[in-house]
Structure 1
Amino acid sequence: MELFIAYKNYSSWSLRPWLAMKVTGLAFEETIFPFYHDTSLTDFAKQEAIPASVPILKIDNQIVWDSMAIMEVLADTYPEANLWPEAKAWRALARSASAEMHSGFMGLRSQFPMNCRRQTKVNANTESLKDISRLAALWKKFYQADEVLSASRSEGPFLCGAFSIVDAMYAPVMWRIRNYGLFVSDEFDAWSEAMFALPAMQEWLRAAQAEEWDIAAYDSVE
């Protein structure tokens, strides 16, 4: 398998499947398309007749694009990786939250681009505050789900206990909250610390810090 991604310092969508694959031990090669600095992504997209966006997965000579599509294909192809929770009720909750991340939280994503290298304090605007409030409610829902679902939460510090796709989907939010000095909730902080401590996340951070590319618009948020 080969995963095509963009800048590790800035690309939130690239982080999602990369992290899921690393944490679950799926072997793959990676190729970086620094699309602000060259035409490699647009050239590849034109060749494959797909949107010029990352991430992209090549698996068994098939091209798969979009983070959620990639992770669903991986879950189908490698069921032993347990990319979704085993219990049906938890899978439903994880899928709902993942879909909400995929299409929502635009205020937070617009005001606070992912930037692993930069730590600063920025006050959230009205739209971002709404998204932060929603995150707090969502985390409370996960942490209280044992009370209403037919299956117990598995052991572990992540949203469903064990790491799954929903954690990968919200991984960039960890960077946004952490590096811009924001606060969601105590439950979110506990999850964030577990995510930050993952060896795979630390590997991503080291690579992000070593990158030589800069994007001024992302580095000047204040």
Structure 2
Amino acid sequence: MTQFTLVIGNKNYSSWSLRPWLVLTQIGVDFNEIRIPLDTPQFRQEIFRYSPTGKVPVLQHGDITIWESLAICEYLIEQFPAAKLLPTQLAARALARSISAEMHAGFQNLRQNMPMNCRSHFPGKGMKPGVQEDIDRITTIWRECREKFGNNNGDLLFGHFTIADAMFAPVVSRFITYGVKLDPICQDYAEAIRHLPAMQAWITAAQVEPEHLEQYDNL
């Protein structure tokens, strides 16, 4: 098979990069990783070699270039059908696609006020107007998925790992960093994501990155 190359930003900060990286790593795909640190002259110099938008992540597969996390995940669904990156049941599959798209497009208050920072701990910070509403919607999604489709099949939203879990993985990281209190169902789900081998590998790498971005580290 033609080699995959994934272009990402810093593991500590780049929530968008985490999503396709987690999918590729969790399902055991070999790929080349190109990491370009965010908010640096190096980033501005290099990113347009790979990305038509000047943003990460970008997946290259032979002559094909795919950008945007959700588009990359959908491409990987097609490339690796045996991985079952979407649920097989029609209603569950529709819900997985819907919540993945909702995560991709929404929750701006949470994104802006609780930026991803895997190696830091800011309990109680970031609770600006609109953030609790985003948290409430996310936890409602998690409970609905677990109660309808997940409980008898494993610990993730639809039991086994899907792109929906990848889309929400950065939220799990944020909730840990900012000490967001969760109900038991959501806490169990967050712990299941945190303990995925691929997620652990990402966090370990994030903790030893040399870059420190003041706007994210000094909240």
- TM-score bracket, normalised by the shorter chain, equals over 0.9
Contact 1:135–1:184 (Cα < 8 Å) also in 2: no
Structure 1 position 65 matched with structure 2 position 67: yes
**Structure 2 partner of 1:17:** 20
Query: Residue 121 of structure 1: SS of its match in structure 2?
Result: coil
Q: Any idea what the Cα deviations from partners look like across 1:42-95, whole Å, max 9, x if unmatched? A: 5442x4561011000001221110001111111111111211111121110101
**Structure 2 partner of 1:219:** 217
Structure-1 separation of matches of 2:112 and 2:41: 24
Structure-2 separation of matches of 1:153 and 1:186: 13
Structure 1 position 102 matched with structure 2 position 104: yes
**Structure 2 partner of 1:117:** 119
Structure 1 position 180 matched with structure 2 position 186: no
Any stretches of 5+ residues in structure 1 without a counterpart? 147-151
Q: TM-score, normalised by structure 1?
A: 0.91
Alignment of 1:1-222 (within 5 A): 1-40=4-43, 42-45=45-48, 47=49, 50-123=52-125, 124-146=127-149, 155-221=153-219
| Counterpart residue type for residue 9 of structure 2 | A
Contact 1:3–1:58 (Cα < 8 Å) also in 2: yes
Query: Residue 126 of structure 1: SS of its match in structure 2?
Result: coil
Q: Any idea what the Cα deviations from partners look like across 1:93-150, whole Å, max 9, x if unmatched? A: 101100110011111111000000001212412210101111121122112325xxxx
| Counterpart residue type for residue 175 of structure 1 | S
Query: Residue 88 of structure 2: SS of its match in structure 1?
Result: coil
Contact 2:7–2:50 (Cα < 8 Å) also in 1: no
Q: How many correspondences in the alignment?
A: 215
Structure-2 separation of matches of 1:62 and 1:13: 20
Structure-1 separation of matches of 2:211 and 2:171: 22
Structure-1 separation of matches of 2:179 and 2:137: 18
Structure-1 separation of matches of 2:45 and 2:90: 39
CA RMSD of aligned residues (A): 1.6
Contact 1:5–1:55 (Cα < 8 Å) also in 2: yes
Q: Percent identity?
A: 39
Contact 1:34–1:41 (Cα < 8 Å) also in 2: no
Structure-1 separation of matches of 2:103 and 2:24: 19
Q: TM-score, normalised by structure 2?
A: 0.93
Cα distance change of structure 1 residues 193 and 177 upon mapping to structure 2, 3 Å threshold: same
Structure-2 separation of matches of 1:35 and 1:120: 21
Contact 1:174–1:192 (Cα < 8 Å) also in 2: yes
| Counterpart residue type for residue 188 of structure 1 | C
Query: Residue 59 of structure 2: SS of its match in structure 1?
Result: strand
Structure-2 separation of matches of 1:28 and 1:85: 24
| Counterpart residue type for residue 114 of structure 2 | F
Cα distance change of structure 1 residues 49 and 56 upon mapping to structure 2, 3 Å threshold: closer
Q: 1:183 deviation in Å?
A: 1.6
Q: Any idea what the Cα deviations from partners look like across 1:151-196, whole Å, max 9, x if unmatched? A: x866110000001000000000001111111123221110111111
Cα distance change of structure 1 residues 120 and 48 upon mapping to structure 2, 3 Å threshold: closer
